[in-house]
Amino acid sequence: MSTITGDDFVELHLSNFGLNASIWQIVCKLQALQLLDLSNNFLSIPSEEDIGSCTGLVSLNLSSNAMSGFLPSLNPLQKLQSLDFSYNKLSGGFTEQIKNLTELKKFSVGHNNFDGVVTFGGLKLEVVVISHNHFGGDFPPELTKLSNLIFLDLSGNNFSGLIPDNISNLAKLETLILSSNNFSGSIPKSLKALTKLSRFAMNQNRLKGTIPNELSSITGLESLYISNNQLTGSIPSKVFSLSNLKTLDLTSNLLSGGIPKNFSKNLFQLRVGNNNLTGAIPSTISNAPNLTYLEMNNNSLNGSIPEQLASCTQLLLLDLGDNCLEGPLIFVLPKLVQLQYLKLANNKFNGSILDKLSNLANLTYVDLSDNLLSGSVSPNIFELKQLQNLRLQNNHLEGIIPLN
């Protein structure tokens, strides 16, 4: 085994090497070291003396080491631009330990046990990830002063209170994740100022009120997650039709009214289950041919499944269970050849479809229970080699079920 010596090392990548604390005796001698990646090892937290000797570091990654204890002072690392201590067991605060790192752009300490006040002083951060820690209280006011922020993730903490209107100060934001907290009040209309936002997640909070039309001003929005809140009113058609929208998740709210007709052509995932939506599924769903996930379960939708759904040939998951839908299925299902998960339970579908399901070779889950289906169970159903779960109870089926 060769010994690492000298000042020639600019980058050192030792992720997943099974290293322990003794590596610090070597690393701290590499005065020219600029990038150090020791992620996914078995290291303990470095001493301030050891880590402080690496004054040339620009990037430091110590994520996923199961480190415990308090963060050491990193202030001697005046050139540091990227810092990642995520997925450890660190506790306490971090403000004093990084307050002099004026070059720091990326700060990631997600999935630890940090708590206390979130403040970054005069730092000009672009990426802040403090998700899944024990922070609480109101939205940290210091964050709205970080005008260079591109990525902000506060998810999985205990933040509460309102999402402040002056979050609009973060005009460069591209990703904003506020999920799994206790934020309340309404979604601020001032978010329309975040015109560069592409991903916005505020699911699993206590938000009320309506989905503001102003979100339609964020024309580059690709992903919008607002599930598991208490939002009311209808789905704004201007938001629904954003041309770049790929994922829209409004599951488990109190939304009412119909499903807008102007489907975004780039939509991949549409989840509006567990609401109070009414009316028919629009035939214009064919305008979203790239849909892979479609969930409209647990609403009060009526009418039949539009034949135009057959245009969505990329569907992997279709869940329309627990509605008031009716009519035959023969024109739609056989054409969804990629389908893996199908749930149409607790509706009023009629006719026979079971012999047509054999075309769907990728099916793993089928639930057609609690409908008005009739006819016999075709032996072809057992040609589905991937099928693991088949539920047909509470229909008007007849005959015997062939077991082989």
Domains of the chain: 280-404 (3.80.10.10)
CB 180 within 8 A of CB 204: yes
% of the chain surpassing 90 pLDDT: 79
pLDDT of residue 5: 44
Q: In terms of pLDDT, which residue wins out, 316 or 375? A: 316
| Cα separation, 393 vs 5, whole angstroms | 71
Q: What pLDDT band is residue 8 in, cutting at 50, 70 and 90?
A: low
DSSP 309: G
Residue 32 confidence (pLDDT) above 90: no
Count CB atoms within 10 A of the CB of residue 145. 16
Helix (H, G, I), strand (E, B) or coil at 211: coil
For the cut 50, the answer to whether the pLDDT of residue 6 exceeds it is no
Q: How far apart are CA 200 and CA 44, in angstroms?
A: 35
Looking at residue 61, what is its pLDDT? Answer: 97
- 273: pLDDT strictly greater than 90: yes
List, for residues 348-398, the tens digit of each pLDDT value.
999 887 777 878 899 999 999 999 999 888 777 777 889 999 999 999 988
Burial class (CB in 10 A: 0-12, 13-18, 19+), 255: buried
241 pLDDT band, cuts 50/70/90, is: very high
Q: What pLDDT band is residue 278 in, cutting at 50, 70 and 90?
A: very high
Q: Mean pLDDT score of the chain, rounded to an integer?
A: 92
Answer whether residue 9 shows pLDDT above 80: no
Tell me the mean pLDDT in the region 274-290.
97
